Amino acid sequence: MSLSTSGRTWEDASSPVAVRVARRFEAAWRRSKGRRPEPDDFLPPESLDRPGARLALLRADIGLRWEIGEKVHVEWYRDRYPDLGDETLVALIYEEFCLREEEQDTPDPAEYTTRFPEVEARLRRVFDIHGLVGSGQTTTTHAPSCPEIPYPEAGQTIAGFHLVEELGRGAFARVFLAEERQLADRPVALKVARSGSREPQTLARLQHTHIVPVHSTRTDPATGLHLLCMPYFGRVTLATLLADPEVKSARTGAELVEALDRLGTEKAPSGRSNGRVALARRSYALAIAWWGGRMAEALEHAHERGVLHRDVKPSNVLVTGDGMPMLLDFNLARETVSDDPDSAASTLGGTLDYMAPEHLEALADGLGRHVDARSDIYGLGVLLYESLMGERPFTTPKGARSAAELLLLAAEERRAGTPSLRSTHPEVPAAFEAVVRRCLAPDPDDRYATAGELAADLQAVADDRPLKYAREPLPSRAVRWTRRNRRALAMVTPILVALAVVVAILLKVQSDRAHRGLEIEHWVKEGEASAREKDFRTAATKFETARRLAEGRPYFVSLFKKAREGAVLAQQTGDIRENADKLFREAEPLRFRLTLFLGDLEVASQRLQATLKPFYVLKNPDYTTLADLELLDKNRRDRLHNEVNDLLFLWVTALARDGSGDRNRLREATALCDKVLGFASPNSPWPKGPWKALRRILTERLGEPVRPGDQDATASTADSPLTCFQWGYIHELEGRRSQALDWFRRAAWNEENNYWYHYYLAYLAGLSGFSEEALRHYGSAVSLKEDSPWARLGRGQHHREQGALAMALTDLKKAETLFETLQRERKEHEEGLELRLTHLALGFVLQRKGDLTGARAEYDRLIAANPDDNPGRAARLNRATLDAADGAVTKARASYDSLVASDPDDRSARRGRALLALRAGEAGAAEADFSDLVRRPQGRNDQDLANRALTRLLLGRPEEAEADAREANRLNPSPGHTRLWTRTLLALGRVEELPIDRPDELARLPLGGSALRADLRKGADRLALVAAGSGTAALKASLTRALLLAAVRDPAAEREANHAIALAPLSPQVYLVRGRVRRWLGVPRGAVSDADHGLELDRDDVRLLELRGRARIEAGSPRAGLADLDRAIQLGAGQSPRGARAEALLALGDPRGALRAWTDALNDDPEDPHAYFGRAKAYLQLRQPDLALTELEQASGWAGDQPGLNLALTLTSVRCLPGRPNQTPRVLALVRRAWTTNSFARP
């Protein structure tokens, strides 16, 4: 198949019409928010343009879909567009193949020939040429059609040859140094191939000094492998020599001989050899010419016998120990005369970098008619160029084009001409350059007609004689003639001698001057072109080359100045751009460090100062006026100003936020505000408002008077996105989080493509409890910067906090991979703090998922690397928690002790040790630690007071416990603190003061079990005498007594409630209490009746509406119950009805609504086990057992001594197991915890 034929549609897809419609389609696609545009709607009206345009549109469509993660495949397009032709189908298949390669996938061409057998032949051709263009390796278009036979290994014996070592391998065979057993173990080179070739027959016809001959050929009967036995002349190839560092700088042929001795493992031949002598007495360039002559003679010998080599390159030239070159590898050779042009085309191959333009075009067209002996001459020319210059004359084309287009592009580059040799290597003789240029002539007719002609000219170069076939420059010929005819000239008169010399010198000087002038102008133009293309490093190198060539020559003064100025300007521009790009790269990690998410502020400050140093930001009075900044393009310059502004703002904010109270730091931050406000001007990108507000905060914290004007700095909705973001930071710094969120939202809305705005908004929204908003903006940040590990880390931590452990694990694993990649790119040997934090988060997620082995592995890894930094200490703390859960109390206590000893201010470690002591029944030790935490508070210490209250209650000191519980409840009147305070009042017998009036809440007070039941009964007994009377006191005592009795499920509670109703039959309160008692005792219909009576007396009593709603749900009427609860909420019932509302929604088949309602309930009371249990049931309905199990674990931690609830948790956890046996240890741990936990346990 001809690729030029199949590539017609590809070419049309690059036409102006096709490109224009594809761009319109892409723009429409990116603007669309819902339904994607249809490619066929953009087809041009002209029928001739439609095939190429459709391909361009479909390629754009598949690329855009892959870009957003929608990995559609070609079958999708074939099903959707059944009229796709074979050419378009092959082009789309190749597009999918390239997209997979761009994503670091390694697609197998065989997969596609299996998927699309109808175009198998075309696909093979495309993939063969893709491999050739992509790798530059030797190839043919043959594909193996039979199972591969394994190659033998060194040390084995095959067909009478003992394989000593492998010398090399290629596309077709492997070559071994072998010993031929039948001939006294003589050393030979044995070529082993899976399939036969014409190489043995070819070599048998070629008997030449510089072609490696063949001893014998055979097929191994045991394996079917084909063996070609050749004499062993060593292992050094020309490619080996050219790769040697010392050869790269060689100046003489003697150095080549030395390299040959050094690289060869065989002893150098004793005595003098013609080859070594010929090399040693010549310069490096003439030695290469001598070798080239020998190779040309070998090619001439082959060509005369009708054989083309077709793969002439350095690795196919063996250099023997006596310095003789020998052609190798005639595996690709074919006869020049063939009756089968298709066969010739099918065997086209070789190495791309050494192919003649007609060879490349033949490969693209699939026709071999135009490839003849002159293509071998071209390949030898490339070899000579590479040997002289150290590089090949042409590059391998790359890009998103068809394989045929890339081959044709390579051919076009060769037809454009050959780069100059002497411009950069003037030591190369002009005659040699003329020979190489003729070899590399784009038109075969302009090359040497035969390899024999080339051999003659190369020998002439080697012997410093005139060329016979190539045209040598006149000055070079004159100089040679003068040098070779010195004796004849000496006999001529002195005047003629002088005249001849003068003429020769003048001619040479004129020639050199003209040549040098052209070279200087060439390099100046090249530098200008590179500068226009923004490649300033290359431009500087080219200008510097021009400057060196012009230096010290008065004829080129103007060119010298132009080149020098160009070099300086390009160097400065390249430097400033590289520094700016480096700052852009460093900005992201610096932001995370400066926002105090992680790390040491001092280290972050040092890194920031090092990043800003090239721009003199902190040393120049106004860096924005630096002349060098004008060398940046406008986009870079504007971004640089914004980045510097943002980073400096975050730095000053971090200094202001630093809790150390270091006045020097505050003064440093104030001075920086002054400096930045000096930058700011009405037309600058440095808004003054946020900086003045920041300076005001700093001066207030220093206790100094506020500067005039700072107090009046106010925000405006017309501010830029950056300024809005900074105002958000100001509000957050002053504790106004709600206003801060509004400004961050405004910044993200006004600049929706700013990754950082979305990230920080997500972070703060998550802290503020806006989970859905946080996830939405985390998603935006990830989509805007998919390779950012910080966005993945932030979203993973948020998923973890929300209990979405599977999603958290996915994000954290991706963040781990990205951080490791970043670390490798920066060549950092130790794990960075961000990566360590990722491992810590992974450990916590695995711990929550029940993979305790994986969690321990993550923690142990962190501890082994550095046990004393923040992640290391956190890992030790979590490891201790795991040990305590496993019953290894001694080990856990030792870990806590070690953490506290190394840092007595480590509150988490001290709190962990206290809770461990509490669980172990060591209340005295726990109280000591809790007291230490209370004495040294950091912020609101209500939880430490609550923990100490619980401990003192256990120690039998209820008065002290009540004081702590009351203070904790004052600081944070949460439901949990209210229950604890109620418990202490109950223990003191102060039942008249109980703040809780619901039996279900009384039943779940801390320190439950028999002790709680005893205190409840004591309280009820204490009130019995008062309740038996009459009046208000009796009514209040009777109501409280009914609640206390109901909490222990005593039927007498209802009688007590009846007594209260008898005392005040017109009070809604008495019906509320009896209804609550009846509901708790399992009589929901009676509770509904009481609620009805109460609502007749007060129709808007939200407590009665909530009671009736709860009772109706339990009585089997969830819809009616939901209506009551919604009305109660509408009338201001607060968060109390949320849990019951969730139960109704779940009963009505709305698990997602139930989840939201239970989440609202948990926001109010995060210690409610019933809410966690409800979320678990909702997740089970949504078929998310992993999340359900997480919620059950939370519920178990707060259930305490509630046997009914613990039984329900156990049974529900078993429902999470089907199809998930790996979760069995997690379920068993939950069951063990549910039935062994103390009533004061925490999750």
| Chain centroid offset of residue 521 CA | 45
User: Taking residues 846-872, what's their average pLDDT?
Assistant: 88
Instruction: Say whether both 130 and 161 belong to one domain.
Output: no
- Average pLDDT of the chain, as a whole number: 83
Element (H, E) at 325: strand 325-327
Task: Give mean pLDDT, residues 314-333.
Answer: 84
Reported as a single tens digit per residue, the pLDDT across 970-1026 is 999 989 999 999 999 999 999 999 998 899 999 889 888 889 999 999 999 999 999
> Cα(1200)–Cα(1196) distance, rounded to whole angstroms?
8
Mind spelling out the 3-state secondary structure of 1177-1234? HHHHHCCCHHHHHHHHHHHHHHHCCCHHHHHHHHHHHHCCCCCCHHHHHHHHHHHHHH
Q: Which of 1110, 1115, 1107, 1106 is nearest to 1090 (CA)?
A: 1107
805 and 892 assigned to the same domain = no
Nearest to 837 by CA among 885, 810, 873, 785: 873
Is the pLDDT at 707 greater than 60, yes or no? Answer: yes
Q: Would you state the pLDDT for residue 348?
A: 55
Between 472 and 383, residue with greater pLDDT: 383
Query: Is residue 620 situated within a structural domain?
Result: no
For range 838-856, the mean pLDDT: 87
Task: Give SS3 for 726.
Answer: helix
- Residue 241 located in a structural domain: yes
One-letter amino acid for residue 110 of the chain: A
Could you give the CA distance from residue 937 to residue 967 in angstroms, rounded to a whole number?
A: 14
Q: Determine the pLDDT at residue 952.
A: 94
Greater model confidence, 301 or 194:
301
**851 lies in the same domain as 984:** no
Tell me the one-letter amino acid at 312.
V
Cα–Cα distance for residue pair 319/218, rounded to 1 Å: 26
For every residue of 480-502, which 3-state class applies, written as one string? HHHHHCHHHHHHCCHHHHHHHHH
Residue 439 belongs to some domain of the structure? yes
> Is residue 1017 within 8 Å of residue 1048, measured between CB atoms?
yes
Angle between helical axes of 536-550 and 494-532 (0-180°, round to 10): 160
296 shares its domain with 444:
yes
pLDDT tens for 265-318 read: 666 565 567 888 888 899 999 999 999 999 999 999 889 888 888 889 998 899
Confidence band of 4 (pLDDT split at 50, 70, 90):
very low
How far is it, in rounded angstroms, from Cα 545 to Cα 563?
8
User: Cβ of 114: how many Cβ atoms within 10 Å?
Assistant: 10
Amino acid letter, 128: D
From 935, 799, 946, 797, select the one nearest 874 (Cα to Cα): 797
- For 1138, the 3-state DSSP assignment is helix
Place of tokens 């619980």: 950
- The predicted pLDDT at position 1058 comes to 94
Q: In this structure, which amino acid lies at residue 834?
A: E
Residues 6+ positions from 533 with CB-CB distance below 8 Å: none
Query: Of 617, 738, 597, which Cα lies nearest the Cα of 657?
Result: 597
Strands 349-350 and 139-140: antiparallel
Q: Is residue 201 part of a domain?
A: yes
Q: Which residues contact 1159 (CB under 8 A, 6 or more apart)?
A: 771, 1175
Q: Total domain count for the chain? A: 7
Query: Please, are residues 1099 and 1068 in contact by the beta-carbon 8 Å criterion?
Result: no
d(CA 262, CA 268): 9
* Residues in contact with 1021: Cβ distance below 8 Å, sequence separation at least 6, in sequence order: none
Same domain, 430 and 557: no
Dist CA 292 CA 456 (whole Å):
10
In one-letter notation, the amino acid at residue 1005 is L
Residue 565 belongs to a domain: yes
Identify whether residues 927 and 945 lie together within a single domain.
Answer: no
Residue 1240 scores a pLDDT above 80: no
d(CA 985, CA 969): 13
Average pLDDT over residues 514-530: 86
- Considering the domain architecture, whether residues 203 and 333 belong to the same structural domain is answered as yes
| Contact by Cβ (8 Å): 782, 795 | yes
Range of the domain at 128: 3-135
Q: Specify the amino acid at residue 1159.
A: T
Q: CA-CA-CA-CA torsion for 687, 690, 691, 697, nearest 10 degrees?
A: 170
Q: Kindly report each contact of residues 111-116 with a partner whose C-beta sits within 8 Å and lies 24 or more positions away, as own/partner.
A: 115/74, 115/75, 116/74, 116/89
**DSSP-assigned states of every residue in 226-281:** EEEEEE---S-BHHHHHHSHHHHT--BHHHHHHHHHHH-SSPPPSS--HHHHHHHT
Pair of tokens at residue 457: 């000219």
User: Looking at the structure, do residues 344 and 247 belong to the same domain, yes or no?
Assistant: yes
Domain presence at residue 746: no
Distance CA 909, CA 75 (A): 58
Query: Residue 3 has which token pair?
Result: 């690729």
Q: Per residue in 753-808, pLDDT tens? A: 888 889 889 888 888 878 888 889 989 988 988 888 888 998 998 888 877 888 89
Same domain, residue pair 892 and 975: no
457 lies in the same domain as 514: no
Strand partners, 169: 174
pLDDT score of 6: 44
Q: 174 and 114, same structural domain? A: no
C-alpha–C-alpha distance, residues 96 and 545, integer Å: 44
H runs (alpha helix) in 7-148: 8-12, 16-31, 50-67, 74-80, 86-102, 109-115, 120-135
Global pTM value: 0.53
CB 325 within 8 A of CB 319: yes
- Last residue in a domain, options 898, 913, 932: 932
Of residues 1090 and 55, more confidence is placed in: 1090
- Helices 1169-1181 and 1151-1164 cross at an angle (nearest 10°) of 160
Asked if 271 and 339 sit in the same domain, the reply is: yes
Q: Give the per-residue pLDDT at 577.
A: 86
Q: Categorize the per-residue pLDDT at 496 as very low, low, confident or very high, splitting at 50, 70 and 90.
A: low
Q: Is 825 contained in some domain?
A: yes
695's tokens:
């300076």
pLDDT(813) > 90 = yes
What confidence score (pLDDT) does residue 134 get? 47
Residue 481's pLDDT band, with cuts at 50, 70 and 90, is low
Q: Which residues contact 1122 (CB under 8 A, 6 or more apart)?
A: 1109, 1113, 1141, 1144, 1145, 1148
Residues 6+ apart with CB under 8 A from 851: none
> In this prediction, what percent of the chain has a pLDDT beyond 90?
29
User: What pLDDT score does 507 carry?
Assistant: 76
Q: What is the CATH number of the domain that holds 251?
A: 1.10.510.10
Q: What is the pLDDT of residues 405-462, one digit of tens each?
A: 778 888 888 888 888 888 888 889 999 999 999 999 999 999 999 999 999 999 999 9
Q: How many CA atoms, within 13 angstroms, populate the side-chain half-sphere of residue 549? A: 27
DSSP-assigned letter for residue 119:
G
Residue labelled with tokens 């939201």: 1156
Partnered with residue 227 across adjacent β-strands are: 192, 218
Those residues whose C-beta lies under 8 Å from the C-beta of residue 937, and which sit 6 or more positions away, are 944
Asked if 147 and 220 touch (Cβ cutoff 8 Å), the reply is no
In this structure, how many other beta carbons lie within 10 angstroms of the beta carbon of residue 816?
Answer: 21
Of 472, 492, 527, at which residue does a domain stop?
472
Amino acid in the structure at residue 1165: D
Q: Cβ–Cβ contacts within 10 Å for residue 515, how many?
A: 17
Is the model's pLDDT at 368 over the cut of 60? no
Is position 41 within any domain? yes
pLDDT of residue 1103: 94
d(CA 391, CA 308): 25
Residues 6+ apart with CB under 8 A from 635: none
Of 844, 860, 876, which marks where a domain is finished?
A: 860
CATH number for the domain that contains residue 819: 1.25.40
Tokens of 877: 């703390």
Q: What is the mean pLDDT of residues 548-576?
A: 83
Angle between helices 958-971 and 975-988 (to 10 degrees): 160
| Other beta carbons less than 10 A from residue 1243's beta carbon | 15
